[in-house]
Structure 1
Amino acid sequence: MAGLSRLDGKRVLVIGGGGAGIGRSIVRACAAAGAAVVVVDVDAARAAEATDELRATGHVAHALSGDVRSLEQLEALITGAAERLGGLDILVTVVGGQVAFVPAVKLHEMADEDWDTVYELNLRYVARAVRHVLRLFLEQGTGGNIVSIGSVTGFMAAPKQAGYGAAKAGLYSLARTVAAEYAADGIRMNVVAGGAISTAVNTGSSDAWVPEIPAGRYGTSEEMAAAAVYLASDEARYVTGQQIVLDGGVSVRGPFPE
């Protein structure tokens, strides 16, 4: 399968930062593969910009805005997306990170509230979104697919990113559990684990990190999106509870650069 057939006719919700960075690339890739897309971003203007871009090229796209840290808003966003698309086939969760939200410090120096922030943005909202969309998938009775953006810090040493790494490890565990519990219902969950990916957050440190990457460069958000589309497609219909690692070889050397 290639081109539009990869996600042709699928209904996709990209939640958490769908209007920028890796999320925006995933939105574009899903639409290019034939899917109708709902874009969720905490910034309403970014979400609208992303959907306007898709509509201008003839794609079906809707924009929603809300704070995924709020259970009420998160569930309303998922329900609203399903209403706009007439159901959902695929959920992609994106937002995460540490350095954009809290200081990068050693574990004994990390404030309790900073740990909570990292946990909230990297695992808790994802678990809540997965729980809610599972109910929807089961009610629809047609299976479903979940793809989450993870990180190599979930399975390798990550100096000054203890909270982030612990949350991403939990994300992979969540995917394995979903696979074990819901594969018989036609529901899959997988993770795209990124290494050093070029985004607005880490571009400033790219020169310092490149020597640590065997491939000699940062990965791109488009490469992350391509992996997400593969996992979302029927080409990966026998893949569940797994991680695809995009890190240019970083994880074979370790630890992750500070």
Structure 2
Amino acid sequence: MTGVGRLDGKRTLVIGGGGAGIGRSIVRSCAAAGAAVAVADVDAARATEAAEELLAAGHVAHALSGDVRSREQLDGMIEGAAERLGGLDVLITVVGGQVAFVPAVRLHEMADADWDTVYELNLRYVARAVRRVLRLFLEQGTGGAVVGIGSVTGFMAAPMQAGYGAAKAGLHSLARTVAAEYAADGIRMNVVAGGAISTAVNAGVAAAWVPEIPAGRYGTSEEMAAAAVYLASDEARYVTGQQIVLDGGVSVRGPFPQ
């Protein structure tokens, strides 16, 4: 599941929630696959704990903290990762969602401020991070890979999650544009689109959603991490501008459960 050796020598930054949930699984899987990892999280204690876990297992790891909504802090985390790791080969963006940040309501009931929050945490920071890391990859001249954590709500109906779905659709559009503009430079961007993935946020409704999933279960953060490792690796060097969908068949049934 971790793809041992797939990321040997890859200098990887996992930004936005690298210290917990899906991000923590991605950090572990990247390290197990051979990458040197910079862990970035808004919670400095979580980032430190994740890095120390990797260090104790004999991996190369560094902890960084900052708020991805701040341009200065976001740039600082990217530059800090490149400085500590001696450059960057892979950027994986994680943080996102809606129900963890704002109420799940019908579109006409959604406040402007809540829409902005969802957009900021699912697309705007990713676009900023990608622009910054593209400049870094071009300066290095060695190519690079970007993996964004997306959602099936980006291409299927998502009742009560219109802002989230619109932002995730934008994420895949961003990946396609990066593919078209930078493939000749050896730079790739892809998306892992998750369906119902077991996290602390959705634990309260897990049992209710299972009948809506053809596979009969939730996906795991480890399965999301395995897909991210593949897309970051040279095994996927001819894959760019794409989405890998991990949803247990939800998107063939639709719409996404409320």
TM-score under structure 2 normalisation? 0.99
Quick one: distance in 2 between partners of 1:42 and 1:76?
Answer: 13
Matched, 1:232 2:232: yes
User: Are the aligned partners of 2:3 and 2:226 in contact in 1 as well (CA < 8 Å)?
Assistant: no
Q: What is the deviation of 1:154?
A: 0.1
What are the superposed Cα offsets for residues 176-200 of structure 1, whole Å, 9 maximum, x if unpaired? 0000000000000000000000000
Quick one: structure 1 residues 3 and 162, their matched pair in 2 at CA, closer, same or farther if it must change by over 3 Å? closer
- Does residue 54 (structure 1) correspond to residue 61 (structure 2)? The answer is no
Name the aligned partner's letter for residue 37 of structure 1. Answer: V
Secondary structure at the aligned position of 1:52 is classed as helix
Residue 138 of structure 1 is matched in structure 2 by 138
Residue of structure 2 in register with 1:116 after alignment: 116
Q: Percent identity?
A: 88
2:117 maps to amino acid: T
Counterpart residue type for residue 254 of structure 1: G
Name the aligned partner's letter for residue 68 of structure 1.
V
Q: In structure 1, what is the equivalent of residue 77 of structure 2?
A: 77
How far apart, in 1, do the equivalents of 2:234 and 2:65 lie? 29
1:19 aligned to 2:35?
no
Give the letter for the 2:169 counterpart.
Answer: A
Which runs of 5 or more residues in structure 1 are unaligned?
Answer: none
Which residues of 2 match residues 174-193 of structure 1 at below 5 A?
A: 174-193=174-193
1:194 aligns with 2:194: yes
> Are the aligned partners of 2:3 and 2:229 in contact in 1 as well (CA < 8 Å)?
no
1:49-95 Cα deviation digits (max 9, x unpaired): 00010000100000000000000110111000000000000000000
CA deviation map 1:125-174 (0-9, x unaligned): 00000000000000000000000000000000000000000000000000
Aligned with 1:190: secondary structure? strand
Question: Which residue number corresponds to residue 106 of structure 1?
Answer: 106
TM-score (norm 1): 0.99
Structure 1 residue 247: Cα displacement: 0.1
Alignment: residue pair count: 257
- Secondary structure of 1:5's counterpart equals coil
Q: Residue 5 of structure 2 aligns to a residue in which SS?
A: helix
Are the structure 2 counterparts of residues 125 and 3 from structure 1 closer, same or farther at C-alpha, using a change threshold of 3 Å? closer
Q: Which amino acid aligns with 1:83?
A: E
Question: What is the deviation of 1:240?
Answer: 0.1
Take 1:154 and 1:3, find their aligned partners in 2: how far apart are those partners? 27
Equivalents in 2 of 1:230, 1:35: separation in Å? Answer: 12
The answer for the alignment partner of 1:43 in structure 2 is 43
| d(CA) in 2 for partners of 1:3, 1:152 | 24
* CA–CA separation in structure 2 for the residues paired with 1:43 and 1:3: 28
The letter of the residue matching 1:20 is A
Residue 117 of structure 2 is aligned to residue 97 of structure 1: no
Deviations 1:13-36 (A, max 9, x none): 000000000000000000000000
Match of 2:138, as an amino acid?
Answer: L
SS class of match (2:248)? coil
Whole-Å separation in 1 of the counterparts to 2:250 and 2:109? 26
Contact 2:22 2:221 survives alignment (8 Å): yes
Whole-angstrom distance in 1 between the partners of 2:174 and 2:202: 27
Q: Are 2:164 and 1:164 aligned?
A: yes
Read off the aligned partner of 2:237 and give its amino acid letter: R
| Aligned residue in 1 for 2:67 | 67
